[in-house]
Amino acid sequence: MANAVGWKVVYGQAPAGFETAVAASPLRAGVRYYVSASGRTGGPLTRVPWMGGGDYIFEDGAWRPVDPRPHIP
């Protein structure tokens, strides 16, 4: 669903026109997930490739970004 800020992505639901590489599975609290996406912009003059991603943990019904570096005590 588009809004004034950007796209809202709901876990397990790909926005119209998006393809998924892996089907959704139940989330587990406290587990670190790597999320990534890529595509091309939709400008009228050029279609520039883009990609992004990061490490997240799902806790208390919300996603929280985590440092991608391994924890070293």
pLDDT at 5: 46
Q: Closest Cα to residue 36, out of 19, 53, 12?
A: 53
pLDDT at 1: 38
Q: Closest Cα to residue 36, out of 52, 55, 18, 16?
A: 52
| CA angle centred on 49, ends 4 and 64, rounded to 5° | 55
pTM: 0.53
Mean pLDDT by runs of 10 across the 73 residues of the chain is 51 76 80 84 81 87 80 62
